[in-house]
């Protein structure tokens, strides 16, 4: 056994981290010394460890292995052709573009799919035309081509994907591809599919992702017309769809959206968007916020803060005795701006509250009522 093969064989006995370091050192040497051994390991279908190590080394060799891998695209073994296409895609050397395009005509569908996926990873816009023609191939090839077009992106790929949205059986994955590659024009294209059954959630998710990325917003008319759909989608089992629906509801500016926004306050991933939506509604959200506070539901402190920020301070006497100390604190702060005997009496009571934060807020508000702010020694 020569020294080169012996060194490669030692990789089989190392843990992942040690093997990674050794492979990096191997890749820094003369890569042509390793190629024959690595090819033989790729052919060891029953020896998964050797095959996986070979693939790791090929990836580490990078463009230094491209020409050799391209030669394997003509191998008589379809599995070897698949491995070669996958590795070329991982390496991403655009010198292999022509060879991958030729592999799209392979007699084996799995090789064609591997070549399509590799072109997507490579991200070269020159492949868009040939990938577009694959949209009439077998279903698995079509799905791979849609994903590849989304990865490549750019005007030409987006145009192809926009046109392909009419194909209902592939619409879901086309939405996902546009979510990655879409632009402002894609928002308009996706709007028409938001209310269409199961696909509506994927279309909405893509639309909102693009809108956030491109700093655009769908028309208020579209949001208003799809409000019932958005209310349904905010209950979706898909967390990404729920987020998209909640964000769209926060754009709505409609009081009808308030109950959904309030319900979303309990979701850490949606809370910020729910707060923004309620703040955008302003006083239109007040009846639902007060109703939620009366209902003794969750997130009461946040609801009280939002209520205060809307300027509805006259609603707080009702909540000065709330069981939640955060609500009482907000009530104490708000009542300081209400110059009525009732407000003063409530503040006097709150100034003896057992919770220090509530007590401090009440004392501060009483001082403000008396016009003595700044003389009580309290920090501002």
Tens digits of per-residue pLDDT, 71-116?
Answer: 999 999 999 999 999 999 999 999 999 999 999 999 999 999 999 9
Higher pLDDT, 47 or 265: 265
- Tens digits of per-residue pLDDT, 221-236? 888 889 999 999 988 8
CA distance 151 to 120: 6
Q: What percent of the chain has pLDDT over 70?
A: 94
With contact defined as beta carbons under 8 Å apart, do 41 and 53 qualify?
A: yes
Q: What is the DSSP string of 218-238?
A: --HHHHHHTHHHHHHHTT-SS
Cα-Cα-Cα-Cα dihedral of 137, 142, 144, 146, to 10°? 140
pLDDT recorded at residue 3: 61
Higher pLDDT, 10 or 141: 141
3-state secondary structure at position 339: coil
Higher pLDDT, 314 or 297: 314
Higher pLDDT, 243 or 2: 243
DSSP classification of residue 166: T
Q: Which two tokens stand for residue 154?
A: 């750019």
CA distance 28 to 30: 7
Q: What is the pTM of this model?
A: 0.80
Rg (CA), the chain: 31
pLDDT recorded at residue 30: 58
Q: Which two tokens stand for residue 313?
A: 């301070």
CA distance 120 to 361: 59
pLDDT recorded at residue 376: 40
CA distance 242 to 247: 9
Q: How many CB atoms lie within 10 A of CB 2?
A: 9
Q: Which two tokens stand for residue 342?
A: 């009732």
CA distance 83 to 59: 11
Tokens 């492949």, residue located: 127
- Tens digits of per-residue pLDDT, 126-145? 999 999 999 999 999 999 99
Domains and CATH numbers, the chain: 1-122 (1.25.10.10), 329-380 (no CATH)
Q: Which two tokens stand for residue 57?
A: 């080394």
Residue of 90, 20, 88, 91 whose CA lies nearest to 53: 20
With contact defined as beta carbons under 8 Å apart, do 77 and 40 qualify?
A: no
Residue 379 clears pLDDT 70, i.e. is over it = no
CA distance 245 to 209: 11
With contact defined as beta carbons under 8 Å apart, do 134 and 141 qualify?
A: yes
Q: Which two tokens stand for residue 221?
A: 């008319």
Residue 222: which residues within 8 A CB-CB, separation 6 or more? 191
- Tens digits of per-residue pLDDT, 335-349? 999 889 999 999 999
CA distance 202 to 193: 9
Render the burial of 126-143: b for 16+ CB within 10 Å, e for the rest. ebbebbbebbebeeebbb
Q: What is the DSSP string of 244-312?
A: HHHHHHHHH--GGGHHHHHHGGG-TTTHHHHHHHHHHHGGGGHHHHHHHHHTT-S-HHHHHHHHHHTT-
* Mean pLDDT, the chain, whole residue set: 90
Among 149-163, 185-199, 206-220, the range of highest mean pLDDT = 149-163
pLDDT recorded at residue 17: 77
How deeply is 232 buried, as exposed, middle or buried, from its count of CB atoms within 10 A (0-12, 13-18, 19+)?
middle
């Amino acid at each position: 056994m020569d020294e080169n093969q012996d060194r490669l064989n030692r990789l089989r006995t190392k843990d992942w981290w040690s093997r990674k370091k050794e492979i990096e050192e191997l890749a820094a040497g003369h890569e042509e010394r390793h190629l024959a051994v690595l090819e033989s390991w790729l052919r060891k279908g029953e020896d998964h460890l050797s095959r996986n190590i070979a693939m790791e080394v090929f990836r580490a060799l990078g463009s230094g292995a491209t020409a050799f891998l391209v030669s394997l695209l003509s191998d008589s073994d379809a599995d070897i052709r698949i491995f070669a296409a996958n590795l070329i895609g991982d390496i991403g050397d655009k010198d292999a573009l022509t060879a991958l395009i030729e592999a799209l005509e392979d007699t084996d569908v799995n090789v064609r799919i591997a070549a399509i996926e590799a072109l997507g990873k490579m991200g070269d816009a020159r492949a868009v035309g040939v990938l577009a023609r694959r949209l009439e191939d077998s279903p698995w090839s079509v799905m791979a081509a849609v994903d590849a077009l989304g990865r490549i992106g750019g005007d030409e790929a987006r145009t192809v994907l926009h046109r392909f949205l009419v194909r209902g059986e592939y619409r879901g994955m086309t939405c996902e591809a546009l979510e990655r590659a879409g632009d402002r024009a894609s928002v308009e294209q996706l709007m028409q599919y938001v209310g269409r059954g199961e696909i509506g959630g994927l279309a909405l998710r893509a639309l909102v992702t693009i809108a956030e990325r491109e700093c655009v917003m769908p028309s208020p008319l579209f949001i208003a017309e799809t409000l019932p759909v958005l209310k349904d989608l905010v209950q979706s089992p898909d967390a990404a769809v729920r987020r998209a629906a909640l964000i769209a509801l926060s754009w709505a500016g409609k009081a009808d959206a308030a109950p959904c926004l309030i319900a979303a306050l309990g979701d850490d991933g949606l809370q910020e968007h729910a707060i923004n939506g309620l703040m955008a509604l302003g006083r239109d959200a007040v009846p639902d916020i007060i109703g939620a506070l009366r209902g003794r539901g969750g997130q009461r402190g946040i609801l009280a803060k939002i209520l205060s920020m809307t300027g509805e301070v006259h609603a707080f006497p009702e909540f000065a005795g709330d069981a939640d100390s955060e609500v009482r604190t907000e009530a104490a702060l708000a009542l300081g701006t209400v110059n009525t005997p009732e407000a003063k009496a409530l503040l006097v009571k709150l100034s003896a509250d057992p919770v220090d934060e509530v007590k401090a807020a009440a004392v501060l508000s009483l001082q403000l009522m008396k016009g003595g702010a700044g003389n009580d020694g309290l920090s501002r």
